[in-house]
Amino acid sequence: MDEAMSEVLLSLKHISKNFGEGDVLSDVSLDVRKGEFVTLLGASGCGKTTTLRIVSGLETPDTGEVILNGKDMTDLPPESRPVNTVFQSYALFPHMNVEKNVAYGLKVRKMDKAAQAARVKEMLELVQMSEYAKRMPAQLSGGQRQRIAIARALAPQPQLLLLDEPLGALDLQLRRQMQVELKRLQQALGITFIYITHDQEEAINMSDRIAVMKDGKFEQLGTPEEIYDRPKTRYVAQFIGRSTILEGRVRCVSGSTAVIENENGLFTADSTEASLRAGETCEVCVRTERMRASKTPVEGFNIPATVREARYAGGSVLTYVNLKDGTEVVAEGVERMCDAAQPGDTVYMHWNPAQAAVIGGASHGA
Amino acid sequence: MAHNRTLEKADARRNMLFVLPMTLFAVVLVALPLIYVLGTSLVESGQDFSLGATFTLNNYKSLLRADYLQVFFNSLKLAFFTTVLSFIIGYPFGYCMARASRGWKALLMMLVIIPFWTSALVRIYGWKILLQANGPINAVLRSLGLIEKNIKFLGSYGSVLLAMVYCMISFMILPCHSAVDKMDFTLVEAARDLGSKPWKAFIDVTLPLTMPGILAGCVLVFVPSVGIFYLADIMGGGLVLVGNLIRDQLLKVRDWNTGSAMSMVLILITAGIYLVYRKSGGDDLGVF
């Protein structure tokens, strides 16, 4: 991370917001660095849109501060903030053509006509929509409107671009394509993005850092890798990717691995981060694609399970098994159906201990 | 396909069942009398519209008199001011009604709708009592020390305008309200986000996007305002409007031919306004 990256552009300090029916946001703090792509990820109603609206100035927090470039913006109206938004519904002005939509932010800032035209042209080229300059928004497809909304928000050269589920209304294929384009655009322009989505795959693909939100609070803030590999809470572990969570008691710790047991058997997990001690209880999260089902026991593991079914999933086989206590677990790994276990077979679950995360660290730390 | 077509035919036949009585109703009660008025306006003075009558345009030519034109002008001017005032008061009212919380919305809507429960005539007489020389408004102004002598409200142009606006403003409020209600206010947020002050965002976004409602309101207020005359009569002041003229021609002078010609001109003016409105992209008001 270079010097420019580490400079903080936006600081949210202890933001709380209440619309009269319980807290929508409670004590949210976030530092966003210059040029960073930060995603707010969470289910609907978790407060991510409210957070974004507080940054744009469309909402005022009850308590807390919004600092941009060291300047307190908490009480500034949206028109006075060097921040622009790409709205979920695009919010293109239906009575203005594409060109006028993109020029709007320049016009209200009284930029001279020639400069406006040049900037609009540049923006439309950037989003590859030059030939649509004279079209009305109603004559554009969803993806095209999306591009115009981005061009319009970028035209006034905001220091920070806010994107509220910008790809939510697009079909999967177009969404994947736009994800790549948006990320490329963000890197090329070096503009700081705060991006909202409820799609964890999108968040992982695009972000430098992800804030997983739940009930108006950050559950975890970290790089996609941290969020995926070392979820801090059970919610994060379940929200991101597919996984199995196993509870157990630490039997012994040797070096970086801990041996943990529960009624289903005995297994090993990485304890470097968690600093576990013998006798403690903990939760271990194992990602589905890292869960293996072996026909013979593997060292450090003793979790026998009964195969319910094996299903081909394109490139790999998913084995659905039941542990002793009935817990349903899915394992991936075998590549061909002929190598897969048969229903009724007994298999032994195992994984690479270094890739199994102890959720939230040790219980004695909490 | 064939099955579909049979269904469509059955549908069409069933639709006729509903359309036919309505059409008959419209023809007998609206079209026939209008045709009779048109006919009467086109026959020699003193004749009835019948096969033996002599057709002429004299009735229309006789309208080209300075005093008649003045009367038409009076009506158009009054309708114009009524429309402008209704807009100035009605648009903000409709806007607030659309943006208000649920409870306020219901209250404001009641205020707009309740007047429809009683006759306009009765309500205007109510205003007359309020405004008369020894009436409550003068009494209040006097007791507040704002005036020394009673003001003669009745008979003034302002009192006529007040009565007109009072009777017509609902027709401005309702379409304006519905236009604001339908508008996506994210667009205003987008304008603010892009750097517009609230007032500028209103001018750039809200106003143009609610224009169809405003235009509909203007037509709905202007058109009936041209023809109304009883309000001016009740408020006094001797303002002569097209309506007065037509009534006098028909009931006092008993010159049905000239009266019919006047009515036709009034209809043409109204139709003309509506046509311009529709041609300039106005919404269908359920007329044509």
Model confidence over B159-172: pLDDT tens digits?
999 999 999 999 99
| Closest alpha carbon within chain A to B211 | A95
Most trustworthy range by pLDDT among A125-139, A167-181, A300-314: A125-139
pLDDT band at A360 (very low <50, low <70, confident <90, very high): low
Residues of B in contact with A58 (CB under 8 A): 189, 192-193
Domain presence at residue B225: yes
Given a cut of 70, whether residue B63 has pLDDT beyond it is: yes
The first and second tokens of residue A111, run together, are: 């930029």
According to DSSP, the β-strands at A281-287 and A357-358 are: antiparallel
Interface probe, candidates B183, B185, B194, B215, chain A, greatest A C-beta count within 10 A: B194
Residues of B in contact with A56 (CB under 8 A): 193
Contacts of A339 by beta carbon, 8 Å cutoff, 6+ apart: A317
Q: Cα distance from B196 to chain A (closest Cα, Å)?
A: 6
| Closest alpha carbon within chain B to A79 | B195
Domain presence at residue B229: yes
Of B184, B187, B194, the CB nearest to A105: B194
Of B187, B193, B197, the CB nearest to A93: B187
> Using the beta-carbon criterion (under 8 Å), do B193 and A78 form an inter-chain contact?
yes
What is the pLDDT, as a whole number, of residue B147? 86
Model confidence over A157-196: pLDDT tens digits?
999 999 999 998 888 888 898 899 999 999 999 999 999 9
Domain presence at residue B21: no
Report the C-alpha gap between A8 and A5 in whole angstroms.
Answer: 8
Helix (H, G, I), strand (E, B) or coil at A322: strand
Minimum mean pLDDT range among B96-100, B115-119, B154-158: B115-119
Q: Cα distance from A196 to chain B (closest Cα, Å)?
A: 17
Model confidence over A43-59: pLDDT tens digits?
888 999 999 999 999 99
Chains A, B: CB contacts within 8 A come to 60
| Total tally of structural domains belonging to chain B | 1
| Closest alpha carbon within chain B to A57 | B193
> Does residue B33 belong to the interface with chain A, where contact is any CB pair within 8 Å?
no
| Closest alpha carbon within chain A to B185 | A91
The structure's pTM equals 0.83
Contacts of A360 by beta carbon, 8 Å cutoff, 6+ apart: A232, A233, A234, A283, A366
The first and second tokens of residue A168, run together, are: 């939510």
Minimum mean pLDDT range among A15-24, A345-354, B4-13, B110-119: B4-13
Report the C-alpha gap between A318 and A330 in whole angstroms.
Answer: 6
- The alpha carbon dihedral of B142, B146, B147, B153 has a sign of negative
Q: Cα distance from B187 to chain A (closest Cα, Å)?
A: 5
Task: Name the residue range of residue B88's domain.
Answer: 42-279
The first and second tokens of residue B141, run together, are: 């102004």
Q: Are A282 and A274 in contact (CB under 8 A)?
A: yes
> Does residue A60 belong to the interface with chain B, where contact is any CB pair within 8 Å?
no
Helix (H, G, I), strand (E, B) or coil at A87: coil
Given a cut of 50, whether residue B27 has pLDDT beyond it is: yes
Residues of B in contact with A154 (CB under 8 A): none
Domain presence at residue B136: yes
- More confidently predicted of A71 and B2: A71
For residue A241, give the nearest of A199, A194, A195, A292 by alpha carbon.
Answer: A199
Q: What is the residue-averaged pLDDT of chain B?
A: 89
Q: Cα distance from B114 to chain A (closest Cα, Å)?
A: 33
Report the C-alpha gap between A293 and A331 in whole angstroms.
Answer: 6
Instruction: Report the percent of chain B where pLDDT is more than 70.
Output: 97
- Residues A100-122, mean pLDDT to the nearest whole number: 95
Residues of B in contact with A108 (CB under 8 A): 191, 194-196, 200, 204
Domain presence at residue B9: no
CA A202 to chain centre: 7
- Residues A280-292, mean pLDDT to the nearest whole number: 88
* Domains assigned to chain A: 3-236 (3.40.50.300), 242-365 (2.40.50.140)
Task: For chain B, report the end-to-end CA distance as a whole number of angstroms.
Answer: 33
Given a cut of 50, whether residue B260 has pLDDT beyond it is: yes
Residue at A234: amino acid letter: R
> Using the beta-carbon criterion (under 8 Å), do B190 and A56 form an inter-chain contact?
no
Report the C-alpha gap between A321 and A334 in whole angstroms.
Answer: 14
- Residues B148-156, mean pLDDT to the nearest whole number: 87
| Closest alpha carbon within chain A to B195 | A79
DSSP state of A302: B
| Closest alpha carbon within chain B to A158 | B194
Residues of A in contact with B189 (CB under 8 A): 58, 78, 85, 87, 91
Rounded to a whole number, what is the largest CA-CA distance in chain B?
85
Q: What is the residue-averaged pLDDT of chain A?
A: 89
According to DSSP, the β-strands at A192-197 and A37-41 are: parallel
Report the C-alpha gap between A4 and A14 in whole angstroms.
Answer: 25
Given a cut of 80, whether residue A102 has pLDDT beyond it is: yes
Report the C-alpha gap between B205 and B208 in whole angstroms.
Answer: 6
Q: Cα distance from A159 to chain B (closest Cα, Å)?
A: 13
What is the pLDDT, as a whole number, of residue B173? 95
From start to end of A276-356, where are the E strands?
A: 281-287, 292-294, 303-312, 317-323, 328-331, 346-350
- More confidently predicted of A257 and A206: A206
Q: Which of residues 241-260 of B touch A (CB under 8 A)?
A: none
Q: What are the residues facing A194 on neighbouring strands? A: A38, A162
Domain presence at residue B6: no
Report the C-alpha gap between B189 and A53 in whole angstroms.
Answer: 10
> Using the beta-carbon criterion (under 8 Å), do B191 and A89 form an inter-chain contact?
no
From start to end of A87-216, where are the E strands?
A: 160-164, 192-197, 209-214
What is the pLDDT, as a whole number, of residue A11? 94
Q: Cα distance from A184 to chain B (closest Cα, Å)?
A: 23
- Residues A308-323, mean pLDDT to the nearest whole number: 88
Other beta carbons less than 10 A from residue B107's beta carbon: 12
Q: Are A305 and A285 in contact (CB under 8 A)?
A: no
Report the C-alpha gap between B212 and B114 in whole angstroms.
Answer: 25
Model confidence over A246-285: pLDDT tens digits?
888 888 888 778 889 898 898 988 877 667 788 888 888 9
Model confidence over B221-251: pLDDT tens digits?
999 999 888 888 888 888 889 999 999 888 8
Residues of A in contact with B209 (CB under 8 A): 94-95
- Residues A22-48, mean pLDDT to the nearest whole number: 91
pLDDT band at A364 (very low <50, low <70, confident <90, very high): very low
Counting every residue written for chain B, the total comes to 288
pLDDT band at B148 (very low <50, low <70, confident <90, very high): confident
> Using the beta-carbon criterion (under 8 Å), do B190 and A108 form an inter-chain contact?
no
CA B241 to chain centre: 15
Residue with the two structure tokens 């006028």: A100
Report ipTM for this prediction: 0.84
What is the pLDDT, as a whole number, of residue A130? 94
Domain presence at residue B24: no
**Helix A142-154 crosses helix A98-107 at what angle (to 10 degrees)?**
20
What is the pLDDT, as a whole number, of residue A1? 43
Given a cut of 60, whether residue B77 has pLDDT beyond it is: yes
> Using the beta-carbon criterion (under 8 Å), do B189 and A87 form an inter-chain contact?
yes
- More confidently predicted of B6 and A51: A51
Given a cut of 70, whether residue A60 has pLDDT beyond it is: yes
From start to end of A82-139, where are the E strands?
A: 83-86
Residues of A in contact with B187 (CB under 8 A): 91, 93-94
> Using the beta-carbon criterion (under 8 Å), do B186 and A156 form an inter-chain contact?
no
> Using the beta-carbon criterion (under 8 Å), do B196 and A108 form an inter-chain contact?
yes
Q: Which of residues 90-119 of A touch B (CB under 8 A)?
A: 91-95, 104-105, 108-109
- More confidently predicted of B48 and B271: B271
pLDDT band at A119 (very low <50, low <70, confident <90, very high): very high
What is the pLDDT, as a whole number, of residue A355? 85
Residue at A91: amino acid letter: A
CA A7 to chain centre: 22
- Residues A305-313, mean pLDDT to the nearest whole number: 89
What is the pLDDT, as a whole number, of residue A365? 43
Domain presence at residue B67: yes
> Using the beta-carbon criterion (under 8 Å), do A84 and B200 form an inter-chain contact?
no
Q: Are B214 and A121 in contact (CB under 8 A)?
A: no
Given a cut of 90, whether residue B180 has pLDDT beyond it is: yes
Q: Cα distance from A264 to chain B (closest Cα, Å)?
A: 54
- More confidently predicted of A357 and A84: A84
Contacts of B251 by beta carbon, 8 Å cutoff, 6+ apart: none
Given a cut of 90, whether residue B280 has pLDDT beyond it is: no
Burial of B7 (0-12, 13-18, 19+ CB in 10 A): exposed
Interface probe, candidates A19, A76, A87, A136, chain B, greatest B C-beta count within 10 A: A87
Q: Are A90 and A150 in contact (CB under 8 A)?
A: no
- Give the domain CATH number at B261: 1.10.3720.10
